[in-house]
Amino acid sequence: MTTPEPIRRFIEATNRGDTEAFLDAFTSDASLSDWDRSFRGREQIADWNQSRETAVSHGGPGRPR
């Protein structure tokens, strides 16, 4: 099975802790759902990313801050 290109870019950006590349994986009208919260558009997704404990901008899961 081949991973679709947008998913591959998202995963690679997350693993690198690259916030800009992470956000580039989303279209301007993207929708993201995190448990019972929803975020629409890159601005809300960027805010969500900044506020979560394992944020890409903070080095990603398991990475030092």
Residue 53: what pLDDT? Answer: 60
Q: Residue 2 pLDDT > 80, yes or no?
A: yes
**Tell me, what's the pLDDT at 29?**
94
The single-letter code of the amino acid at 45 is I
Mean of pLDDT values over 38-52:
89
Sorted by where each starts, the structural domains of the chain and their CATH numbers stand as 5-52 (3.10.450.50)
How many Cβ atoms are within 10 Å of 22's Cβ, its own excluded? 24
For 10-44, the pLDDT digits (tens) are 899 988 989 899 999 899 999 999 888 999 999 99
Asked if the model's pLDDT at residue 64 lies above 50, the reply is no
Per-residue pLDDT at 65: 41
